[in-house]
C-alpha cells in the first residue's frame, strides 16, 4: 500500500511506498516529512511519524524528538530539576539557561509576579491586535525570536528547515520571525540567510557581534534578500561557543554601532539590552529598535528578569525608539504583561523551537495562532480593544 507523505515545511503531499529522500516540491529534508492520514500510529508513541492535527500533538512529537534535551513541560520555567538544567552540568547548554539557570528562571518569576486586572463592564468589542513593525503591517505584536543551533541538537530537523519553518509559520499567521546566528554559521553557509533568501526575505536576521567587516557583508546579503530590518545580539559578545570554533565576537562601542546603523538602509535592531544606560547608548548610535532581552537567560548568570528591568528602560527611552521584549513568554497572557509594561512588541524563543521541531511550519503556525487567541482573550478580559489601550493600568 502506498503511503501519503506530508511536508511540514511547504505542506506538499506525495503518495509513495517509502518516504522520499526530500520534499519534491520545496527540497525540505526527509526529517521534515511526516505520514499523512495514517491514523493507526499514536502521536504520543516515539515511533510516530504522523502529521499532527493539534498543537498538543505537535508538542507530543517535539517531546519524542527532543529526548534528553527538552521534555516539553506544560510550563517551561528552567527549574533546576528540569531536563535542560539538570543534565546540563559540563554539557552543551542545549535549550536551558547558563550556569545555575537563575537568569532563565528570573524571566519566569518576574512575569509570574505580575497580575492582570479584569475590567469587564463596558461595551463589547472584538479585540484588534494589528501591529506595525519596521514598516510591515503584522497581525499581532508577537513575533518569533531568534533562537538558532537547533539543527545540531540531534537528528530532528536540519538548521535550514528549522529556519524556514519559523519564517513560514510566522508569515502564515501574519507575523514575522527574527533569525539567529551561531557557531556553525559561516560566510559560506549561513542557514538563516539561505532560508531568508528562499522565503523572499520575510524575517529579520540578528547577527552575532562579529567583526565590522563580516557584519557589513552579512548585512549586504540581508538587504539583497529584501529583509525588512537587520540586527545584532550585542549580548552575544560573551559567547564562548563562538570563540571555541574560531568565530570571534566583540563588544561594540557607540561608534561601531553607529557605523553599522549608517552602513545599512534598513532599520537596525540592538538586541540584548538590559539597562537604561545601554539603551541610551543605542539611541545615541541611532538604532531604531532596542530589544530588551537577557537571551532567555543563556549568556550571563544572575541577571534580573526582563519584566523587572523593562519599566526603567521604557521610562528612559520611551518614544525615542521602538522597544521589544522577550524572555519567558509562553502565552498571550504573558505577552500582554510585557506590552502593559511598555514594550511595543514581544517575541517567543523556546516555544517556536518546540513548535518547529514537532511540526515544521505547521507547528509554528499553530503555536502563533494559539498565542494570538490567548492575547485576544486577555485583551477582552482586561478591557483593551486595541494595542493603544494596553498600559500599566491593567496590572493589578
Ligand X SMILES: Cc1cc2nc3c(=O)[nH]c(=O)nc-3n(C[C@H](O)[C@H](O)[C@H](O)COP(=O)(O)O)c2cc1C
* Of the residues 267, 296, 305, 345, which one makes contact with ligand X according to CB under 6 A: 296
Shortest Å distance, C-beta 78 to ligand X = 8
314 C-beta neighbours (distance < 10 Å), count = 21
Please give the residue whose beta carbon sits closest to ligand X in the complex.
349
Question: How far apart are alpha carbons 72 and 264 in whole angstroms?
Answer: 39
Q: Rule CB under 6 A: is residue 334 a binding residue for ligand X? A: no
Q: Where are the beta strands (DSSP E) in the chain?
A: 3-7, 13-16, 33-35, 131-133, 136-138, 142-144, 178-179, 204-207, 230-233, 268-273, 289-292, 322-326, 345-348
82 in contact with ligand X (CB under 6 A) = no
CB 269 within 8 A of CB 287: yes
User: Considering the rule CB under 6 A, would residue 203 count as an interface residue with ligand X?
Assistant: no
Give me the half-sphere count of Cα atoms (radius 13 Å) on the Cβ side of residue 384.
Answer: 26
CA distances from 7 to 15, 74, 163, 177, 351 (A): 12, 27, 15, 20, 21
Query: Grid coordinates standing for 361?
Result: 511550519
Q: List the one residue from 98, 145, 176, 378 that touches ligand X (CB under 6 A).
A: 145
Q: Shortest approach of ligand X to residue 198 CB, angstroms?
A: 19
Q: Which stretch binds ligand X (CB under 6 A): 12-20, 34-42, 247-255, 288-296?
A: 288-296
Quote the CA–CA distance of 349 and 353 in Å, as a whole number.
Answer: 7
Q: Taking CB under 6 A as the rule, which mask of x and - marks residues 308-327 in contact with ligand X?
A: ------------------xx
Point out which span in 144-152, 221-229, 277-285, 367-375 binds ligand X (CB under 6 A): 144-152
Cα-based distances in Å from 63 to 8, 46, 98, 104: 17, 9, 22, 20
Q: Which of 193, 234, 325, 329 binds ligand X (CB under 6 A)?
A: 329
Among 180-188, 275-283, 307-315, 357-365, the segment contacting ligand X (CB under 6 A):
180-188
Number of residues that bind ligand X (CB under 6 A): 24
Rounded CA gap, 64 and 182, in Å? 25
Rounded to whole angstroms, the Cα distance separating 293 from 296 reads: 7
Q: Compute the least distance from the CB of residue 263 to ligand X, in Å.
A: 20
Taking residue 47's Cβ as centre, other Cβ atoms within 10 Å add up to: 8
175 binds ligand X (CB under 6 A): no
For the bound state, the minimum distance from the C-beta of residue 148 to ligand X, rounded and expressed in Å, comes to 4
Which string of x and - marks every residue 4-33 that binds ligand X (by CB under 6 A)? ------------------------------
Helix (H) or strand (E) holding 285: helix 276-285
Answer for which of 57, 181, 199, 334 binds ligand X (CB under 6 A) is 181
Least separation in angstroms between residue 304's CB and ligand X is 14
DSSP structural state of residue 303: P
Q: Which is nearer to ligand X, 141 or 383 (CB)?
A: 141
Q: Which is nearer to ligand X, 23 or 157 (CB)?
A: 157
C-alpha to C-alpha distance for 16 and 6, rounded to whole angstroms = 11
Residues contributing to the site for ligand X (CB under 6 A): 95, 107, 145-149, 180-182, 206, 233, 271, 293, 295-296, 298, 326-329, 348-350
Amino acid at each position: 500500500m502506498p503511503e501519503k507523505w506530508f511536508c511540514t515545511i511547504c505542506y506538499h503531499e506525495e503518495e509513495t511506498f517509502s518516504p522520499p529522500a526530500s520534499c519534491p516540491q520545496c527540497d525540505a529534508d526527509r526529517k521534515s516529512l511526516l505520514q499523512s492520514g495514517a491514523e493507526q500510529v499514536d502521536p504520543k508513541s516515539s515511533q510516530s511519524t504522523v502529521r499532527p492535527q493539534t498543537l498538543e500533538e505537535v508538542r507530543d512529537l517535539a517531546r519524542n524528538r527532543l529526548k534528553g534535551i527538552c521534555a516539553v513541560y506544560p510550563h517551561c520555567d528552567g527549574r533546576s530539576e528540569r531536563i535542560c538544567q539538570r543534565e546540563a552540568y559540563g554539557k552543551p547548554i542545549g535549550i536551558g539557561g547558563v550556569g545555575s539557570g537563575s537568569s532563565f528562571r528570573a524571566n519566569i518569576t518576574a512575569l509570574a509576579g505580575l497580575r492582570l486586572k479584569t475590567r469587564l463592564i463596558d461595551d463589547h468589542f472584538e479585540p484588534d491586535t494589528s501591529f506595525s513593525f519596521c514598516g510591515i503591517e503584522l497581525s499581532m505584536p508577537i513575533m518569533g525570536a531568534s533562537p538558532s543551533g537547533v539543527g545540531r541538537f540531534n537528528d530532528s530537523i536540519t538548521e535550514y528547515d528549522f529556519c524556514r519553518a519559523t519564517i513560514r509559520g510566522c508569515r502564515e499567521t501574519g507575523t514575522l520571525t527574527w533569525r539567529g546566528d551561531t557557531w556553525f554559521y559561516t560566510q559560506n553557509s549561513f542557514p538563516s540567510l539561505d532560508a531568508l533568501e528562499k522565503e523572499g526575505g520575510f524575517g529579520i536576521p540578528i547577527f552575532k557581534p562579529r567583526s565590522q567587516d563580516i557584519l557589513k557583508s552579512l548585512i549586504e546579503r540581508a538587504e539583497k534578500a529584501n529583509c525588512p530590518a537587520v540586527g545584532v545580539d550585542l549580548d552575544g559578545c560573551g559567547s564562548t561557543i563562538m570563540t571555541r570554533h574560531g568565530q570571534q565576537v566583540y563588544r561594540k562601542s557607540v561608534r561601531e554601532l553607529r557605523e553599522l546603523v549608517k552602513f545599512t538602509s534598513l532599520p537596525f535592531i540592538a538586541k540584548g539590552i538590559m539597562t537604561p544606560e545601554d539603551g541610551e547608548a543605542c539611541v545615541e548610535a541611532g538604532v531604531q529598535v532596542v530589544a530588551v532581552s537577557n537571551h532567555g537567560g543563556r549568556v550571563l548568570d544572575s541577571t534580573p528578569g526582563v519584566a523587572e528591568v523593562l519599566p526603567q528602560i521604557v521610562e528612559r527611552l520611551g518614544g525615542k525608539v521602538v522597544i521589544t521584549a522577550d524572555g519567558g513568554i509562553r502565552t498571550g497572557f504573558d505577552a500582554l504583561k510585557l506590552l502593559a509594561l511598555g514594550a511595543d512588541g514581544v517575541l517567543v524563543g523556546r516555544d517556536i523551537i518546540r513548535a518547529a521541531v514537532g511540526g515544521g511550519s505547521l507547528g509554528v503556525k499553530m503555536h502563533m495562532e494559539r498565542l494570538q487567541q490567548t492575547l485576544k482573550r486577555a485583551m477582552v478580559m482586561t478591557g483593551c480593544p486595541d494595542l493603544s489601550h494596553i498600559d500599566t493600568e491593567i496590572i493589578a
